């Protein structure tokens, strides 16, 4: 692209002539420098992962979605389900062709035919149930948010490390193919220096949604269910935060109903993150750099399209996921590969990053004035 061709594709700002020409040369160089395509994803097909035998602890709604994805697109299988109600475990087993049902969590984690445990209970119980499984010698995939708070998360991580057992937070977005495209763009400097991140997640879940979301005793609220997605996304994009500022509103029960979180990255980039359980929002995300930006439209945290957009707002390239179905299978496949390789945590979401994000969530809650019963 020539200098003047570049000029026709961008808006000319009222800069001094020398500055304007230098800027145009930079734009032309970016177009001519090979930034014409997105990198490929390194995430492998879930079906190629080793087969392991899973036990599901707390067979609720998310456990059903996760098991359906696991059985549809991986070689692994759920072989046991454990609930405080034997009838509920049996109903889940019948629905998914699971071999064994247990009427207690203790019986599930003691099952010798289970290679790993998926902890799918409410946030308020993740700490207890992850420690229960680890204490029985079982590796754990713990549904996000990892625990209620950083203190509990630290206890789980320390227990896993002391036992030499694999532990991973089930933040499924981090393991999806399109997020690896984002990760590679950041690693390769495709966007230039990152300057800004935006992400939102809003779903109409209150007051008529799941009762646990309104219950402080179950660690309800928008933060641990919804805001964790844009916060985790921005944490990946910015490499961590140096400052966090939060405002929001509370529900009648005292849990957070919505929040806006402004963060600053180590290099001075900013993030504007929002979540609410009072309305459905676009659920989009973007990362803007000095050379280009990435855009992910609605449901950014699910298997999705990534668009590379130039400074002239024209689309340069786009990535399409291999499938938009069964996205939960990717975290299970990553876990199976790690377990087969004898690893104790994932490079895609290391335990130390899980802890840092948990402390950010603690900070946001403190600023909003939300405290869960029984927290230390």
Q: Which residues are catalytic?
A: 144
Backbone φ, ψ for residue 44 (5° rounding): -85, 160
Contact indicator for 100, 106 with CB cutoff of 8 Å? no
CB 116 within 8 A of CB 140: yes
Cα separation of 95 and 117, whole Å? 19
Bridge-based pairing of strands 77-82 and 100-102 is parallel
170 token code pair: 């089930």
The DSSP-derived string for 222-263 is HIIIIIHHHHHHHHHHHTSEEEEEEEEEE-TTSSEEEEEEEE
> Closest Cα partner for 222 from 319, 327, 364?
364
Of 349, 334, 370, 345, the closest CA to residue 52 belongs to 334
Give the Å distances, CA to CA, from 37 to 53, 191, 310, 366: 39, 12, 11, 43
Measured CA to CA, the distance from residue 9 to residue 24 in angstroms comes to: 10
CB distance 226 to 201 below 8 Å:
yes
Q: How far apart are the first and last CA of the chain?
A: 60
Count of other CB atoms within 10 angstroms of residue 160: 23
């Amino acid at each position: 692209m020539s200098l003047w061709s570049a000029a026709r594709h961008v808006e000319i700002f009222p800069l001094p002539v020398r500055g304007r020409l230098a800027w145009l040369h930079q734009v032309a160089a970016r177009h001519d420098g090979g930034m014409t395509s997105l990198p490929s994803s390194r995430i492998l097909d879930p079906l190629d992962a080793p087969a392991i035998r899973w036990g599901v602890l707390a067979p609720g709604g998310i456990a059903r979605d996760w098991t359906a994805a696991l059985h549809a697109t991986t070689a692994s299988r759920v072989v046991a389900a454990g609930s405080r109600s034997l009838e509920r475990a049996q109903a889940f087993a019948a629905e998914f062709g699971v071999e064994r049902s247990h009427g207690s969590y203790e019986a599930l984690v003691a099952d010798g035919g289970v290679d790993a445990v998926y902890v799918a209970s409410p946030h308020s119980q993740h700490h207890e149930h992850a420690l229960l499984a680890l204490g029985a010698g079982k590796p754990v995939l713990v549904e996000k948010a990892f625990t209620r708070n950083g203190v509990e998360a630290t206890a789980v991580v320390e227990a896993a490390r002391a036992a030499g057992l694999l532990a991973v937070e089930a933040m499924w977005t981090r393991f999806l193919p399109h997020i690896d495209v984002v990760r590679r763009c950041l690693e390769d400097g495709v966007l230039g220096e990152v300057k800004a991140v935006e992400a939102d997640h809003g779903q109409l879940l209150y007051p008529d949604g799941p009762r646990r979301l309104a219950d402080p005793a179950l660690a309800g609220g928008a933060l641990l269910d919804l805001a964790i997605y844009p916060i985790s996304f921005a944490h990946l994009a910015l490499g961590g935060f140096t400052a966090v500022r939060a405002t929001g509103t509370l529900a009648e029960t005292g849990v957070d109903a919505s929040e806006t979180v402004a963060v600053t990255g180590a290099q001075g980039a900013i993030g504007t993150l929002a979540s609410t359980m009072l309305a459905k929002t676009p659920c989009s995300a973007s990362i803007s750099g000095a050379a280009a930006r990435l855009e992910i439209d609605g449901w950014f945290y699910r298997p999705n399209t990534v668009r590379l957009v130039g400074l002239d707002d024209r689309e340069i390239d786009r990535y399409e996921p291999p499938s938009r179905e069964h996205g939960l299978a990717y975290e299970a496949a990553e876990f199976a590969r790690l377990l087969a390789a004898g690893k104790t945590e994932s490079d895609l979401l290391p335990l130390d990053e899980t802890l840092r994000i948990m402390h950010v969530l603690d900070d946001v809650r403190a600023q909003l004035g939300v405290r869960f019963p029984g927290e230390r």
